[in-house]
Structure 1
Amino acid sequence: MSTTTLEPSKWKHLPPPPGFAQTPVATKTSGKVSSSSSAASYAALKEKRAWDFAISPAKSLPMQAFMLYMSGGGVQIFSMGIVFMLLSSPFKNLAAINSAFAPFAPTPSSHDKTASQVDPKAFTTLPLQKIVYIICNLLTLALGLWKCRSMGLLPTGTGDWLAFETRGSPPEIVLL
């Protein structure tokens, strides 16, 4: 017979885990907990999450590069699928950049009247994080274009443009 209920008195004397910060709890005798400190820590947490989200495309670059390496250099359905996903994801990410960063926008405080008119989906909110996000997505796009070039899909040589080259009449033919 196993018991699924835990005795609270058994666990209350354990030390907190490493890195755990005890937050003050408001009680009837102590009054209200300072809301400015909790709001500041919440704003700092939102900014940290915004930076984590901004560099997330760069964190996946090594795995994507390994997948491109493993897919081979030939033009097959598997390698084309990986290249298509790699090239389409930056465009999807950049099209939805404002809605992606909206949860990380700073919340307006009650005493700040200018922040209450800030649109969370505007490009001017979190501009540094959005610029880093754009740069990381451009790196992903550059990786995909490099793979297309190594597969021979990009027209980089003069032989790729021969269809558009016009030739003059040869000098051996004389028109009278």
Structure 2
Amino acid sequence: MSSIASPPPSWVVDLNTPLPKKSPKTSNIRNPPGFATKSTGKQQRNAQPTRERKPAETDTLKLKKAWEVALAPSKQIPMNAVMMYMSGNSLQIFSIMMVFMLFKGPIQGLLATNSQFLKFETESNRTQIWGCKGVYVLVQLALLGLGIWKVNQMGLLPTTRSDWLAWESERQPLERAYFAFS
């Protein structure tokens, strides 16, 4: 007796057969404006060619971007102020971490000031970049001031006389009064 193998069910054949690939030429969807196809490298009809920029225009754009970088940390001041106010003045892990992050960001920003503006600096706009750097440093110092304010509110800054008692000497009285029994 010979056994005849039955053909696999249709769902097994469908799973093992890959779907036919559609060619991009038969697609009804148009490419977006300015999209270049990889195969031909041509741009679409309605894409505008880029023109060469003059050095003055490039310097203007670089200066504009430098001002954006200089003013970017100032957007953090209101957010950090609200967060510091809402975190409370008690010594908890959340408030300590908030203060740590408030000091870490501006210190890293101050250390990286020159590298932040290096890509925007050219020979012709070097003096104008100095103004951007100055504003950037002032904003970072304002963030550090906010951190110092928060540390003072938490009572961690030694601002009272009792904070320095270890260096105070004991007062020596000039005279003593003793209680006398009569």
TM-score (norm 2): 0.65
1:63 maps to 79
Q: How many residues align?
A: 140
Seen in structure 2, the aligned counterparts of structure 1 residues 25 and 11 have a Cα distance that, compared at 3 Å, is: closer
Q: Take 1:97 and 1:58, find their aligned partners in 2: how far apart are those partners?
A: 15
Question: What is the alpha-carbon root mean square deviation over aligned residues?
Answer: 3.1
2:151 to 134, 148, 173: 148
State how far apart, in whole Å, the 2-side matches of 1:135 and 1:150 are.
22
* Residue of structure 2 equivalent to 1:20: none
Match of 1:137 in 2: 140
* Alpha-carbon distance, 1:172 to partner: 3.3
**2:63/2:128 contact within 8 Å kept:** no
Report the Cα offset of residue 93 of structure 1.
1.0
For residues 68 and 27 of structure 2, the distance between their equivalents in structure 1, rounded to whole angstroms, comes to 38
The CA deviation at 1:24 is 7.1
- The gaps in structure 2 that reach 5 residues or longer are 1-25, 35-46, 177-182
Aligned to 2:104: 88
**Shift in Å, 1:125:** 7.3
Partner SS for 2:90: coil
Instruction: Give the distance between the partners of 2:69 and 2:174, measured in 1 at CA.
Output: 64
Structure 1: gaps of 5 or more residues: 13-22, 27-32, 107-114
- SS in structure 1 at match of 2:151: helix
1:1-176 maps to which residues of 2 (within 5 A)? 6-7=29-30, 25=49, 35-36=53-54, 39-106=55-122, 115=123, 126-172=129-175
| 1:11 CA drift (Å) | 6.7
TM-score normalized with structure 1 length: 0.67
Q: Which string of whole-angstrom CA distances, capped at 9 and with x for unpartnered residues, describes residues 127-159 of structure 1?
A: 100110110001000000001111111111122
Higher relative contact order at CA 8 Å, sep ≥6: structure 1 or structure 2?
1
SS in 1 for 2:84: helix
% identical aligned pairs = 41
Letter in 2 for 1:54: A
Aligned counterparts of 2:53 and 2:162: Cα–Cα separation in 1: 69
Could you say which residue in structure 1 is the equivalent of 2:19? none
Structure 1 segments (4+ residues) deviating >6 Å: none
Partner residue, 1:16: none
**Distance of 1:100 and 1:165 partners within structure 2:** 47
Amino acid at match of 1:143: L
Q: Distance in 1 between matches of 2:130 and 2:28?
A: 49
